[in-house]
Structure 1
Amino acid sequence: MNAIRFSFALLTGCILSSCQLPLSMIRQEVIRKPLVVQPADSSNSPLYVWHGSGEPGPVRVTIDLSEQKAYIFQNSENIGWSYVATGRSGFRTPTGTFVITEKVVNKRSNKYGSIVDANGNTVRSNATAGVHGVPSGGKFLGAKMPYWMRLTNYGVGMHAGPIPHPGSPASHGCIRLPYDMAERIFEVAPSGTRVTIVP
């Protein structure tokens, strides 16, 4: 009882005299600040992540239009994700479940591309076949679509292409992937692979 009275008297005396208690008598609190989760910055975040094992097994792909991302699964395990660029305003990417029906390593669009003159100079860089005129001696040159994987019979598929603003649509309806990711998916996803596109 005397020890309690002595501690109380010592504490009261210190408070009144503004003295400091020894650190051993003070319980220190550790204040933990919450982690701040910031939105992805396209200049700092990766365009894709791949951690496939290379083992065989069924593959499926989910394209999320709201996130502008693709998620790749093999043997029911997620083996990677990637930013994509899907159809911009006026060029809607369809939703639903599709299968890969055609694979071509070096494909060119027969609808979108550029028009060049007889000397090979580009006279129109954003041309649509049959809509924009071709000068005498010139030709329509379809846009490159490496690692083409067809999903519809009206020309929508997955392929390598630019992702100018990660998280934002940019294509004529196809699903563009970073070049390396398109190549990886092309290698592991045979014809018949299921691709689900969600809003």
Structure 2
Amino acid sequence: MRLVNLLAALPLMAALDCAATPFWGAKYSAPADTPIEVLQPGEFIWEGELEPQGPVVVVVSLPEQMAYVYRNGVRIGVATASTGKPGHGTPTGVFTILNKDKDHHSKTYGNAPMPYSERLTVDGVALHAGGLPGYPSSHGCVHLPSAFARLLFGITHRGTTVVIAGESTAPRSVVHPAVLTPVDAATGAPESEHALGLLEDFRWEPEASPEGPLTLVASAADRRLIVLRDGVEIGRARIKVDNANVPLGTHAYTVLAGSNSGHPRWSAVGLPGHAAESRDSHDENAVERLHMPKDMSRRLYPLLEPGTTLLLTDAPILEHSTGPTLAVMRSGLPEGESAGAAVNTGNRRSPAPIESVRIN
């Protein structure tokens, strides 16, 4: 009898659970020709049919309190957002989606509903549907209109790139980065330094992580390119930087789908206002000034596929770096790993999973 009563109560319990989850913002997209600047809190524009395929990049502008969605370099959506309030700021940088939960409830905040949650950091910062008062009001997450969050949830995946920046910046198409092409024989490989060993120009251990999203992090200060797959370092190389006295800036590059030339096409997003970066306009072709050993590029090139992200920065990324930090890439940890693990820098032990790469 008790089982029968419980089964009879299940529809009511499900209805109560649905009723307990608020719906934030507009139910439908504003007309496509609506000027972005007139969108009111909770409103959004969605044009997913403009570019039906290709990797997705999400750009969140903190000053504007807006979120932009690009698929294969084409903007398909924009929404009003609400980010972290004073004392609970939303971190800036380049992140990848760690996991997704359509019906997430927060253990930290009294089981509060966070529908269509897409987690960016190990400590819980996420994109999700939430309150939209027209100003920063969250505890660090990025709140989006419910209908928009649902649409975004449907086209992203673990490893999708999310850029959170101090101002708005749209992706721009760039040619194939020279850092991924062999160093000219006349130039030679970069001079050896101690971190990789006196006789090592690169290290390549793809077996450390056979599958998962690929992320490349290049530092002009350290003259290093680090290759991560599913958050595990699988390789690193010395890189040569042309005109090293001229800042490169902080940029995220994402491989786009489709190419007629046989080389991947990339879109570039600049992150204004960060470490060691020039105050001048962004040079999306800055990556052309980087070069790596040809044997490394031969190994890396076949792994490049739509959605691969390259993060370029002037600042150091090696573990000896000190000073204030900006998160540039975060990835999940296997169960039991310490959240404080960092990139292995220069010894010969096996690559380890990392929680984040941080730059000055």
TM-score exceeds 0.5: yes
| CA RMSD across the alignment | 1.8
Residue 155 and residue 46 in structure 1: after superposition, are their counterparts in 2 closer, same or farther (change >3 A)?
closer
Whichever residue aligns with residue 78 of structure 1, its letter is R
Match of 1:76 among 73, 76, 80: 73
Tell me if 1:151 matches 2:120: yes
Tell me if 1:112 matches 2:109: yes
Give the strand-richer structure, 1 or 2. Answer: 1
Secondary structure of 1:182's match? helix
The C-alpha deviation readout for 1:99-153, integer Å capped at 9, x for no partner, is: 001000100111113xxxxxxxxxxxxxxxxxxxxxxxxxxxx110000100000
User: Structure 2 stretches of 5 or more lacking a match?
Assistant: 1-34, 167-360
Secondary structure of 2:109's match? strand
The runs of at least 4 aligned residues of structure 1 exceeding 4 Å deviation read: none
Q: For residues 1-199 of structure 1, what are the structure 2 equivalents within 5 Å?
A: 40=38, 42=40, 47-53=43-49, 55-113=52-110, 142-164=111-133, 166=134, 168-199=135-166
Report the CA distance between 1:56 and its aligned residue: 2.1
- The total of aligned residue pairs comes to 130
Report the CA distance between 1:46 and its aligned residue: 6.7
- Larger mean CA deviation between 53-62 and 171-180 belongs to 53-62
The C-alpha deviation readout for 1:13-72, integer Å capped at 9, x for no partner, is: xxxxxxxxxxxxxxxxxxxxxxxx9x7473xx8711001117221100000000000010
- How many Å separate the matches in 1 of 2:62 and 2:118? 18
Residue 40 and residue 55 in structure 1: after superposition, are their counterparts in 2 closer, same or farther (change >3 A)?
closer
Tell me the percent identity: 41
Residue 169 and residue 193 in structure 1: after superposition, are their counterparts in 2 closer, same or farther (change >3 A)?
same
Whichever residue aligns with residue 179 of structure 1, its letter is S
Whichever residue aligns with residue 143 of structure 1, its letter is A
The C-alpha deviation readout for 1:143-198, integer Å capped at 9, x for no partner, is: 1000010000001000011202x2x1010100010000000110001111000000
Residue 73 and residue 179 in structure 1: after superposition, are their counterparts in 2 closer, same or farther (change >3 A)?
same
- How many Å separate the matches in 1 of 2:56 and 2:39? 29
- How many Å separate the matches in 2 of 1:89 and 1:178? 22
Instruction: Provide TM-score, normalisation by structure 1.
Output: 0.62
